[in-house]
Structure 1
């Protein structure tokens, strides 16, 4: 027997869940299929458990400032993290989905053709299909790695306790967050990064501040360092690395691979659909539609940003375009993200170097340090800065924030950028005192004055005044 549906979604992670709720919101019959429980990487091995552990490590870090001998029970902490995952799952369970009008089918699905899958021996045909199969940890071809019991984000939070020492491969967001977090919980951490610096997609000077903070907290960072081989011996992991032509060994109890994500493109019959794809992603247009009409793809399986909030945006776009006659486009000009180190680092739009490549030297750069914020001064050992990259008129091309509440500050700038509001207008916005968001007002006043001085009439008057004073 064949089951019919309006919208079939393969993958119940952040992207698939958003698409499913959007489709059900338009009173369409939605079937959501996944071989695992709903929630995907974000709930079970990504955003939720990592932030839960980060928050607990921050509390432990503060305690150890005053009680240096305090040793946390990492087994208990990891158990608490797993409970948080279960708590979040209660809002994504099959029962909750059913109440929203979404039928969840747990099982391994295989495409028979572009609009037909088989799962648990049942055939499902759909008018529209959305592929949201997500991604898995990228595992590099390092000699010997497959022979050792390496960790990834998929099994890290299932450990019964944290190791006494840990090697982390990769200085991106996941590697940097976990390096600081796990070091704060008493583990000796070695962070290996092939590039010249960690957090390579963020503003360089702000990433440098994070690197300094991690080193201050005991993380041993090896940049310009390439992993060559790994072996397990005497109960430890021995990693051979090369830095500036010199080969040496780094030893720890465990090794965590945090080298990005690889799109899940195999194992569900994608080759039977006629959809175009390569080794990295499924090909889609700006409506998230694949090369096969009526078949869409969203989330990590298409990129270009493997971020939960981008997956959510793609899910809404794809579901609406699959259902409504008026089609919307995805817009990547206003991409933003936040890395949850302590302090946080947030990025919106272009970095300074990217802006110079696109717009030349006409851009305007403004920076403001937390040194001038009374709220920041109330916290010991604070660091922070906001950098704005504007066009010649004062509109936002990009911004980077590092410091406490950087995620909230960058979100305000993201809103300003999205709505195409000139930054100078912030000069008249009243913010509560003392807050970190005051930094926006302080910069807004500078930009407002510069905007006035850049007006042709003001420039001419200034020239006349200068001549008269000569």
Structure 2
């Protein structure tokens, strides 16, 4: 077992870890990454990227069944589920190998194994690397970044069994399409799977214990999403209480209390999407100053844990559990370690995106949160039905909503539902990061014809100046 010295060792090769390692190498630090499974982490291999490939396929399936709206006709429209899944896995594989190439290009050493803190050697940190329980190496570094991510939360009675009750992994590689599917949890992960399977033809029921779906989104946007999903044929039960689950040979039966009624359900498969927990186990944190709170490592604004030389980023460090947050934290953390001046991340400037149909995107405060924070607000709304490009695309259902501080003109939040809004939200993110007010946004020229014009109109609408409604 060899001992190898580095300036920085990153534990975890996901979107936070590998980006941090690349940036560290660019800044001249001798850097290593320790990854136990796949470079690119859950996001690239089993999350963000392959799910988007699946969702793209489901959008095509939906479009093929609505060709008549565009003047086309096709007979015997069908799909090969195994090819759909295979393409998704190929996309993930291509990008995972690309991460390996990037690390090699930047001269980052990669260790295949599980990393755990193993004490100190003077002012340097020691990290043991094991694979299948066997020692691989002991690394020594001035600094360590923990980027081990998170995993799906498992509730008693809803433990994934690989057949009837699925986690996200089984849901991404189905061997056949379930005719009836139950999704428990209506956050981004649950809703994206619900959207995929519904658009592929499954009967989908979504159960949420809270009183509305997509609870982190603006309530108005969530209500519009609820309406759209029901129109697509989904059954949505909110304020729900789930009874005991009975497994059959090839189905699951359960009762759900919601809306003052008891619903008896029998479905082919269940997807559990009820949150995530941080991967804090077996990291060697015992006896250190690292604090774990509800499975997440507590950090300061620069991702420092309180234990000298040890940092934590990404999902491990708590919400929002987003890949782009992890990557940005990784760069910020490394630059702080390298002695550069950094700006701590404002969580309200981190956009959230849900890639269902219709798409949902947001940044900043919801209208309710802004009011709770004591702001007097001006709210602007612009529907897609007033946007020429949206109508031409056959996507007239959608809304852009802006929330401004009535006194200062600060853009407090922006919330969107409709086609391509996950691509458009960045405009409002830049506005918030740059601390622009309604004055600059009103003076900004938006190209025509684009759906992004709805963003401009939603700003104008907050100040009684919308032109096309």
TM-score by length of 1: 0.90
Q: Structure 1 pair 444/253, CA: closer, same or farther in 2 (3 Å)?
A: closer
Residue 384 in 1 paired to residue 391 in 2? no
Q: Structure 1 pair 262/144, CA: closer, same or farther in 2 (3 Å)?
A: closer
1:149 Cα deviation (Å)?
A: 4.3
**Distance in 2 (alpha carbons) for counterparts of 1:302 and 1:166:** 33
Q: Give the match's secondary structure for 2:347.
A: coil
1:222-246 CA distances to partner (integer Å, 9 max, x unpaired)? 1121222212113111223222454
User: 178-187 or 95-104: which moved more?
Assistant: 95-104
1:258 Cα deviation (Å)?
A: 0.9
**Distance in 1 (alpha carbons) for counterparts of 2:180 and 2:114:** 37
Q: Are the counterparts in 1 of residues 401 and 458 from structure 2 also a CA contact under 8 Å? A: no
Of 89, 94, 105, the match for 1:87: 94
Larger Rg: 1
Residue 318 in 1 paired to residue 324 in 2? no
**Aligned twin of 1:186:** 201
Residue 364 in 1 paired to residue 410 in 2? no
Q: Are the counterparts in 2 of residues 320 and 327 from structure 1 also a CA contact under 8 Å? A: yes
**Aligned twin of 2:286:** 271
How do residues 379-418 of structure 1 correspond to structure 2 at under 5 angstroms?
379-380=393-394, 382-391=396-405, 392-418=407-433
Of 147, 153, 157, the match for 1:138: 153
Q: Are the counterparts in 2 of residues 196 and 224 from structure 1 also a CA contact under 8 Å? A: yes
1:325 Cα deviation (Å)?
A: 5.0
**Aligned twin of 1:56:** 57
1:214 Cα deviation (Å)?
A: 1.4
Q: Are the counterparts in 1 of residues 15 and 40 from structure 2 also a CA contact under 8 Å? A: yes
1:236-288 CA distances to partner (integer Å, 9 max, x unpaired)? 11223222454443111111111121111103322254411123311111110
Residue 112 in 1 paired to residue 118 in 2? yes
Q: Are the counterparts in 1 of residues 313 and 329 from structure 2 also a CA contact under 8 Å? A: yes
Q: Are the counterparts in 2 of residues 135 and 263 from structure 1 also a CA contact under 8 Å? A: yes
Q: Give the match's secondary structure for 2:293.
A: coil
Q: Are the counterparts in 2 of residues 74 and 185 from structure 1 also a CA contact under 8 Å? A: no
1:328 Cα deviation (Å)?
A: 4.0
**Distance in 2 (alpha carbons) for counterparts of 1:401 and 1:381:** 14
Q: Structure 1 pair 59/230, CA: closer, same or farther in 2 (3 Å)?
A: same
Note the residue ranges of structure 1 that are not aligned, 5 or more in a row: 451-470
**Distance in 2 (alpha carbons) for counterparts of 1:394 and 1:344:** 27
**Aligned twin of 1:468:** none
User: 342-351 or 229-238: which moved more?
Assistant: 229-238
Q: Are the counterparts in 2 of residues 152 and 256 from structure 1 also a CA contact under 8 Å? A: yes
Residue 44 in 1 paired to residue 45 in 2? yes
RMSD of aligned Cα (Å):
2.1
**Distance in 2 (alpha carbons) for counterparts of 1:215 and 1:69:** 26
User: 120-129 or 63-72: which moved more?
Assistant: 63-72
Residue 98 in 1 paired to residue 113 in 2? no
Q: Are the counterparts in 2 of residues 145 and 229 from structure 1 also a CA contact under 8 Å? A: no
**Count of residue pairs the alignment pairs up:** 448
**Aligned twin of 2:70:** none
User: 52-61 or 110-119: which moved more?
Assistant: 110-119
Q: Structure 1 pair 369/137, CA: closer, same or farther in 2 (3 Å)?
A: same
1:368-400 CA distances to partner (integer Å, 9 max, x unpaired)? 112221112223352111111101232201111
**Aligned twin of 1:283:** 298
Q: Are the counterparts in 1 of residues 185 and 274 from structure 2 also a CA contact under 8 Å? A: yes
Q: Are the counterparts in 2 of residues 142 and 227 from structure 1 also a CA contact under 8 Å? A: no
Q: Are the counterparts in 1 of residues 395 and 419 from structure 2 also a CA contact under 8 Å? A: no
Residue 14 in 1 paired to residue 15 in 2? yes
**Aligned twin of 1:460:** none
**Distance in 2 (alpha carbons) for counterparts of 1:147 and 1:344:** 29
Compare the two structures and name the one with the higher helix fraction: 1
1:311 Cα deviation (Å)?
A: 0.8
User: 312-321 or 127-136: which moved more?
Assistant: 312-321
Q: Are the counterparts in 2 of residues 53 and 78 from structure 1 also a CA contact under 8 Å? A: yes
Q: Structure 1 pair 100/381, CA: closer, same or farther in 2 (3 Å)?
A: closer
TM-score by length of 2: 0.90
